[in-house]
């Protein structure tokens, strides 16, 4: 049996996953490719300018990020379909933007989302 | 289901010939916020060796032309979370098509950091818990870390996408607590638990009370073996040593020390080695004057041909074909004898 065939055979048997997804003595389990990158920019619909400090999160998940001074955000999240991305102005001072959301699918390695927010 | 040993040994030999690098430690700092009794590294609260700049490490990674699937960079230390740019490091690693993970003592693993680390694409995490409160705090040489570590573990288990496990260093002091620790971990939602022992290297050579004797080691093997039969938690013994008759009862697979086969490391000073706990005499190069990929492909012979380990207590051992001289960290240098053997098949032991 040649080596490639042997590797394929063993790798195809689920109970031997540990042979491939292993960990060193003092290391971690091996990371697996189960997430994707969501990135984009938030702007004001009225001015077209970037909006800072908008909380970008995923519905049903505590993971989130705030937009930077260029209105940009970028984070990894688990691959699945119909992810509701929620944009929320959480600053306490008035004159803010309406909460909005959009659906994305984690079917590729990177999904880009540009969104403009309406002032309340 | 038990995999046929003969087939596994053929697979192992094929893996050695192939020697695909897919698990790379990065000793990203030697700074640490603890001073553990058993630490095998040279870390300290302040260190003469500065943290390696991110760009230096990324430059070394870029020498690897086609990273394997699930190529994982394991950030270790010291305590990696003392670096404020870990998230940036992680993002840059992901841009190269690689995954990354973290080994932490858990003290700085708080909700804000959990969020930013996940945002940066952390794929796996290991946190250390060395027994119940008295044992953990004793080994960690710190009065009140247990509670913070337990909180960190609960936080980590809340992220189902993380490949997360807890490691426990088993000593004579916490050996009798393992069942209680198992209960605690179950209540915290832990799904994987890895146990290891302390080898007589590093600071442990000065504190023999940390080491299990043969009877205690057998007790540990029996605990792991029995727990694997009944527990919801996936418990296993680490890959640190060959265990003789307990092989495949305490792990999912047979013993296979992958140091220099699939596992490499870039140490704080740029040294290129296999596992970070391998003796520094086995360093193969340095990223500051060598090409990491070239070193991986052309050096590491002591790791890929371990015939030199067949000396001393290994010389006439009938298990040599299975263990290949045991874990490489148990050798203090090429052509030097094994410092200890955990094979428990007494009839075959010739020492």
Note whether B252 contacts A15, CB cutoff 8 Å. yes
Q: Which two tokens stand for residue B159?
A: 């992220």
Which residue, among A10, A18, A19, A25, would best test binding to B if mutated, counting the most B CBs under 10 Å from its CB?
A25
* pLDDT over 90, % of chain B: 69
pLDDT-derived band of residue B262, with 50, 70 and 90 as boundaries? very high
| Per-residue pLDDT reduced to its tens digit, B118-176 | 999 999 999 999 999 999 998 888 888 999 999 999 999 999 889 999 999 999 999 99
Q: Which of A28, A63, A65 sits opposite B124 (nearest CB)?
A: A28
Nearest residue of B to residue A79 by CA position?
B161
Interface confidence, given as ipTM, is 0.86
Residues in A lying within 8 Å of B, measured between beta carbons: 1, 3, 6-7, 10, 13, 15-19, 21-35, 37, 62-65, 74-78
Q: Measured between beta carbons, which residues in chain A are less than 8 angstroms from residue B18?
A: 3, 7
Name the superfamily (CATH) of residues A35-117: Carboxypeptidase-like, regulatory domain (2.60.40.1120)
Q: For chains A and B, what is the number of CB pairs under 8 angstroms?
A: 149
Note whether B25 contacts A10, CB cutoff 8 Å. no
Residue A95 in this model has a pLDDT that exceeds 60: no
Q: Which of B76, B102, B119 sits opposite A76 (nearest CB)?
A: B119
Which residue, among A11, A20, A31, would best test binding to B if mutated, counting the most B CBs under 10 Å from its CB?
A31
Question: Higher pLDDT residue, A51 or B201?
Answer: A51
Question: Min CA distance, A6 vs chain B (Å)?
Answer: 7
Residue B306 in this model has a pLDDT that exceeds 90: yes
Question: Higher pLDDT residue, A28 or A54?
Answer: A54
Q: Is the pTM for the entire model greater than 0.80?
A: yes
Q: Which of B17, B40, B124 sits opposite A30 (nearest CB)?
A: B124
Residue B351 in this model has a pLDDT that exceeds 70: no
Q: Which of A27, A33, A37 sits opposite B74 (nearest CB)?
A: A27
Q: Measured between beta carbons, which residues in chain A are less than 8 angstroms from residue B263?
A: 24, 27
Domain boundaries, chain A: 1-30, 35-117
pLDDT-derived band of residue B202, with 50, 70 and 90 as boundaries? low
Note whether B103 contacts A26, CB cutoff 8 Å. yes
Residue A86 in this model has a pLDDT that exceeds 60: yes
Q: Which of B11, B69, B119 sits opposite A6 (nearest CB)?
A: B11
pLDDT at position B350 = 41
Note whether B123 contacts A31, CB cutoff 8 Å. yes
pLDDT at position B220 = 97
Which residue, among A27, A61, A74, would best test binding to B if mutated, counting the most B CBs under 10 Å from its CB?
A27
Which three-class secondary structure string do you get for chain B?
CCCCHHHHHHHHHHHHHHCCCCEEEEECCCECCCCCCCCCCCCECCCCCCCCCHHHHHHHHCCCCCCCCCCEEEEECCCHHHCCCHHHHHHHHHHCCCEEEEEECCCCCCHHHHHHHHHCCEEEEEEECCCCHHHHHHHCCCCCCHHHHHHHHHHHHCCCCCEEEEEEEECCCCHHHHHHHHHHHHHCCCCEEEEEECCCCHHHHHCHHHCCCHHHHHHHHHHHHHHHHHCCCEEEECCCCCCHHHCCCCCCCCCCCCECCCEEEECCCCEEECCCCCCHHHCCEECCCCCHHHHHHHCCHHHHCHHHHCCHHHCCCCCHHHHCCCCHHHECCCCCCECCCCCCCHHHCCC
Least confident stretch, B5-9, B34-38, B66-70, B200-204? B200-204
Residue B184 in this model has a pLDDT that exceeds 90: yes
């Amino acid at each position: 049996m040649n080596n490639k065939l042997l590797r394929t055979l063993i790798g195809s048997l689920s109970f031997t996953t540990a042979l491939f997804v292993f960990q060193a003595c003092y290391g971690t389990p091996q990371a697996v490719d189960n997430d994707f990158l969501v990135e984009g920019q938030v702007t004001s619909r009225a001015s077209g300018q970037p909006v800072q400090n908008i909380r970008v999160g995923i519905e049903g998940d505590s993971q989130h990020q705030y937009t930077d001074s260029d209105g940009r955000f970028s984070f990894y999240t688990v691959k699945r379909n119909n992810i509701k991305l929620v944009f929320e102005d959480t600053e306490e001072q008035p004159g803010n933007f309406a909460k909005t959301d959009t659906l994305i699918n984690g079917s590729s390695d990177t999904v880009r989302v540009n969104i403009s927010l309406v002032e309340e | 289901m038990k995999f046929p040993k003969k087939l596994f040994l053929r697979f192992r030999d094929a893996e050695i010939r192939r020697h695909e690098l897919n698990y790379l430690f990065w000793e990203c700092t030697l700074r640490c916020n603890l001073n553990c009794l058993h630490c095998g590294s040279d870390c300290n609260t302040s260190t003469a060796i500065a943290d390696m700049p991110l760009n230096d490490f990324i430059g070394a990674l870029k020498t690897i032309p086609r990273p394997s699937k699930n190529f994982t960079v394991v950030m270790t230390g010291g305590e990696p979370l003392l670096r404020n740019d870990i998230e940036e490091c992680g993002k840059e690693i992901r841009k190269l098509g690689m995954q990354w993970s973290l080994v932490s003592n858990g003290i700085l693993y708080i909700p804000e950091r959990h969020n930013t680390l996940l945002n940066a694409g952390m794929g796996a995490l290991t946190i250390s818990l060395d027994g119940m409160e008295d044992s953990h705090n004793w080994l960690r040489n710190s009065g009140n870390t247990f509670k913070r570590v337990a909180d960190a573990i609960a936080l980590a288990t809340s992220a189902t996408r993380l490949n997360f496990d807890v490691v426990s260093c088993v000593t004579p002091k916490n050996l009798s607590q393992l069942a209680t620790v198992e209960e605690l971990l179950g209540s915290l939602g832990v799904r994987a638990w890895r146990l290891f022992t302390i080898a007589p290297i590093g600071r442990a050579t000065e504190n023999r009370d940390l080491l299990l004797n043969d009877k205690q080691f057998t007790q540990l093997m029996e605990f792991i073996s029995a727990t694997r039969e009944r527990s919801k938690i996936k418990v296993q013994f680490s890959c640190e040593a060959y265990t003789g008759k307990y092989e495949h009862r305490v792990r999912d697979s047979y013993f296979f020390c992958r140091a220099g086969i699939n596992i490499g490391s870039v140490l704080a000073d740029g040294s290129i080695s296999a596992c970070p706990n391998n003796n520094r005499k086995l360093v193969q190069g340095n990223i500051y004057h060598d090409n990491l990929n070239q070193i991986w492909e052309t050096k590491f012979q002591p790791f890929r041909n371990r015939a030199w380990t067949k000396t001393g207590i290994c010389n006439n051992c009938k298990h040599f074909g299975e263990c290949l001289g045991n874990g490489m960290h148990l050798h203090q240098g090429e052509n030097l004898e094994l410092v200890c053997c955990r094979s428990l098949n007494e009839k075959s032991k010739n020492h």
